């Protein structure tokens, strides 16, 4: 008996890192032109929040390049190194924390190359590759980050001298007569010399011959293109990320046959630090591209049809990859799958709105709504109830650990939905707010469009943010629910637009002034 559609949706693998390579390939959906943009030979940093599909994309790229006879090395930076607590120990200097990180990454790269050489031993001469891998291992051990700030020299000496003498006289003829003379002398000396030097902290990394040895090994592997895919970059502490980036810039990026792709969260990444006339790390746009952001894909309000097609394909491919499902079982196309799963197209449209363009949220919500509507087709009310449960059970938990973040969200909901009857708002571009970053990272607000302008404020650019579906799902059918996406001044009063344009005639009503919220908080709360 093949599993039902509901059973398959409930059993969907929620995270890419837990799925096998075969299922990752089967369930991958290309949000064109995403794959074409990433499959280039250019070095790139791929940005995106958790759940947007960075890991799935890298692993699919990993399998694709291996199938094309290239060498692909996938490294999860969460699992690199034996003791990651060293990287986070703020009691240690940058040099003490960065050096073991660089060594751990290089050793992981060495192990990956060794594994490739062994697996393809029929193609390569291990008698030549082996010694060069040994040379690479030896040069790796010389890598260190150097940054002295203080030098103290101490010397001390101490000495002791002691002298003594004793004389005894006795007369045998007169036993009662005796005499004794004694004396002693003692001297000691101690000296301590201390020298202390302090100065401006400067860093440089000693790479030695790592680049040459790495290049030689790659050349001996047949001249194939090597893809180095680094996942979970943002798990590395912000202040030592530039030193790992600098290692890549100096040792890996210059090798013409190597392509590096890094998956990171944008506001949790620090790719470079600048000094006097130079920089440490990777400069986006010069050393590596930073133009791919998975948060820019599949937002319903921007391109509804494209978003619906993507999530129809996503759910259908996960369904077809279910265990126990034969090729002839169940619906055979995405359209058939949607027709047999949802009561009508408006129910699926509501589902796509609710997931806010995030693939991981889509598979979690699909599992939740399948349990709620088990045994029947899924309706609009099922989607809304499941979205409410998913929001309260998962997304809103971040607010418990950060009261100030919860206060900001509640204030935004009050300002945007209650006062303006809208779902979205505008903030000035490039003006960072830690609490907004936290809401964005937790998928409680979403970016719809970046860098729009207005005739009201020439030269000022704004980003369009949208509240998460779960924030207002209870208000949708009530009198206090949102009327449209964004308010705008029209000829006949307030108008609402459902697709954020690139240029607004007037956007005063849509701009959110965070200074009003900040004025209500203690100073410390703004930095949480």
- Residue 255's contacts (CB-CB under 8 Å, 6 or more residues apart) are 211, 214, 215, 218, 226
How many beta carbons lie within 10 A of that of residue 514, not counting itself?
A: 17
Answer yes or no: do 333 and 435 share one domain: no
pLDDT band at 262 (very low <50, low <70, confident <90, very high): very high
Answer yes or no: do 387 and 403 share one domain: no
- Residue 392's contacts (CB-CB under 8 Å, 6 or more residues apart) are 470
Answer yes or no: do 222 and 111 share one domain: yes
Residues of the chain with pLDDT > 70: what percent?
A: 80
Question: With the C-alpha atoms ordered 481, 486, 490, 493, is the resulting torsion angle positive or negative?
Answer: positive
pLDDT band at 5 (very low <50, low <70, confident <90, very high): very high
At residue 466, does pLDDT exceed 80? yes
At residue 394, does pLDDT exceed 90? no
Whether 310 contacts 298, CB under 8 Å? yes
Answer yes or no: do 284 and 221 share one domain: yes
Let me know if residue 189 belongs to a domain. Answer: yes
Whether 416 contacts 424, CB under 8 Å? yes
User: Per-residue pLDDT tens for 216-254?
Assistant: 999 888 778 999 999 999 999 898 999 999 999 999 999
Residues of the chain with pLDDT > 90: what percent?
A: 42
pLDDT band at 371 (very low <50, low <70, confident <90, very high): very high
Half-sphere exposure of 279 (CA within 13 A, CB side): 15
Answer yes or no: do 387 and 408 share one domain: no
Q: 465 is written with which tokens? A: 């943010």
Answer yes or no: do 222 and 292 share one domain: yes
Mean pLDDT of the chain: 82
Let me know if residue 18 belongs to a domain. Answer: no
> What pLDDT is stored for residue 524 in this prediction?
45
Answer yes or no: do 287 and 308 share one domain: no
- More confident position, 42 or 22: 42
At residue 516, does pLDDT exceed 80? yes
> What pLDDT is stored for residue 503 in this prediction?
53
User: Per-residue pLDDT tens for 302-351?
Assistant: 788 999 999 999 999 999 988 888 989 899 999 999 999 999 999 999 99
Q: 53 is written with which tokens? A: 């599909």
Let me know if residue 192 belongs to a domain. Answer: yes
Of 376, 396, 416, which residue sits at a domain end? 396
Across the range 11-23, mean pLDDT stands at 69
Length of the chain: 528
Across the range 199-211, mean pLDDT stands at 72
> What pLDDT is stored for residue 84 in this prediction?
59
Q: 251 is written with which tokens? A: 């040792």
Q: At what angle do helices 334-341 and 345-355 cross, to 10 degrees?
A: 100
Answer yes or no: do 415 and 385 share one domain: no
Answer yes or no: do 510 and 423 share one domain: yes
Full residue range of the structural domain in which residue 388 is found: 304-396
> What pLDDT is stored for residue 493 in this prediction?
53
Answer yes or no: do 95 and 58 share one domain: yes
Let me know if residue 15 belongs to a domain. Answer: no
Q: Compute CA distances 225 → 34, 72, 283, whole Å.
A: 21, 8, 23
pLDDT band at 154 (very low <50, low <70, confident <90, very high): low
Task: Report, in this order, helix, strand and coil percent for the chain, each rounded to 5.
Answer: 45, 25, 35
Let me know if residue 428 belongs to a domain. Answer: yes
CATH code, 249: 3.40.50
Q: How does strand 445-454 pair with strand 462-467?
A: antiparallel
Whether 70 contacts 116, CB under 8 Å? no
At residue 369, does pLDDT exceed 90? yes
Across the range 262-274, mean pLDDT stands at 91
Q: 412 is written with which tokens? A: 């935004």
> What pLDDT is stored for residue 523 in this prediction?
54
- CA pair distance 162, 400, nearest whole angstrom: 73
* Cα radius of gyration (the chain): 33
Of 264, 296, 328, which residue sits at a domain end? 296
Let me know if residue 10 belongs to a domain. Answer: no
Weakest-pLDDT range from 6-20, 110-124, 150-164, 458-472: 150-164
Q: Compute CA distances 500 → 2, 33, 108, 465, 488, whole Å.
A: 45, 21, 45, 10, 11
Q: At what angle do helices 304-320 and 345-355 cross, to 10 degrees?
A: 90
| Three-state SS at 166 | strand
Of 355, 376, 396, which residue sits at a domain end? 396
Q: 């369930």: which residue's tokens?
A: 27
- Report how many domains make up the chain: 4
Let me know if residue 264 belongs to a domain. Answer: yes
Answer yes or no: do 379 and 292 share one domain: no
Answer yes or no: do 363 and 488 share one domain: no
Let me know if residue 17 belongs to a domain. Answer: no
Give the global pTM.
Answer: 0.82
User: Per-residue pLDDT tens for 476-494?
Assistant: 876 777 877 777 665 555 6
At residue 169, does pLDDT exceed 70? no
């Amino acid at each position: 008996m093949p599993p039902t559609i509901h059973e398959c949706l409930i059993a969907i693998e929620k995270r890419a890192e837990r799925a096998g390579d075969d299922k990752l390939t089967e369930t991958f959906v290309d949000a064109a032109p995403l794959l074409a943009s990433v499959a280039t030979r250019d070095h790139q940093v791929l940005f995106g929040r958790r759940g947007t599909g960075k890991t799935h994309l890298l692993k699919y790229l990993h399998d694709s390049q291996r199938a094309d006879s290239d060498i692909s090395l996938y490294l999860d930076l969460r699992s690199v190194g034996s003791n990651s607590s060293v990287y986070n120990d703020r009691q240690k200097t940058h040099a003490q924390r960065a050096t073991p990180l660089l060594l751990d990454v290089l050793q992981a790269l060495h192990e990956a190359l060794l594994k490739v050489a062994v697996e393809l031993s029929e193609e390569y001469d291990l008698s030549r590759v082996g010694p060069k891998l040994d040379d690479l291992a030896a040069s790796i051990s010389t890598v260190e980050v150097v940054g002295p700030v203080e030098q103290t020299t101490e010397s001390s000496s101490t000495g002791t001298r002691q002298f003594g003498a004793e004389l005894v006289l006795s007369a045998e003829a007169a036993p009662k007569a005796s005499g004794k003379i004694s004396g002693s002398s003692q001297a000691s000396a101690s000296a301590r010399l201390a020298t202390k030097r302090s100065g401006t902290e400067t860093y440089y990394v000693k790479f030695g011959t790592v680049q040459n040895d790495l290049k030689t090994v790659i050349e001996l592997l047949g001249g194939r293109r090597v893809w180095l895919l680094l996942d979970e970059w943002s798990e590395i502490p912000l202040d030592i990320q530039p030193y790992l980036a600098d290692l890549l810039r100096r040792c890996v990026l210059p090798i013409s046959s190597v392509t590096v792709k890094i998956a990171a969260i944008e506001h949790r990444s620090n790719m470079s630090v600048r000094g006097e006339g130079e920089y440490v790390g990777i400069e986006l746009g010069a050393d590596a591209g930073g133009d791919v952001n998975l948060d820019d894909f599949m937002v319903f309000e921007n391109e509804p049809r494209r978003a619906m097609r993507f999530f129809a394909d996503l759910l259908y491919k996960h369904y077809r990859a279910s265990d126990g499902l034969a090729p002839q079982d169940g619906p055979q196309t995405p359209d058939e799958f949607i027709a047999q799963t949802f009561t009508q197209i408006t129910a699926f449209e509501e589902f796509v709105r609710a997931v806010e363009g995030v693939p991981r949220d889509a598979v979690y919500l699909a599992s939740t709504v399948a349990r709620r509507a088990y045994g029947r087709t899924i309706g609009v009310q099922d989607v809304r109830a499941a979205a409410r449960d998913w929001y309260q059970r998962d997304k809103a938990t971040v607010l418990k650990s950060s009261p100030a973040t919860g206060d900001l969200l509640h204030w935004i909901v009050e300002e945007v939905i209650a006062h303006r009857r809208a779902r979205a708002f505008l903030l000035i571009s490039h003006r960072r707010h830690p609490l907004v970053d936290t809401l964005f990272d937790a998928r409680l607000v979403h970016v719809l469009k970046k860098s729009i302008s207005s005739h009201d404020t020439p030269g000022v650019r704004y980003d369009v943010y949208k509240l998460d579906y779960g924030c207002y799902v209870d208000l949708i059918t009530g009198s206090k629910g949102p009327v449209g996406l964004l308010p705008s001044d029209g000829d006949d009063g307030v108008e609402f637009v459902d697709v954020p344009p690139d240029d607004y005639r007037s956007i005063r009503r849509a701009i959110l002034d965070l200074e009003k919220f900040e004025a209500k908080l203690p100073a410390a709360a703004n930095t949480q």
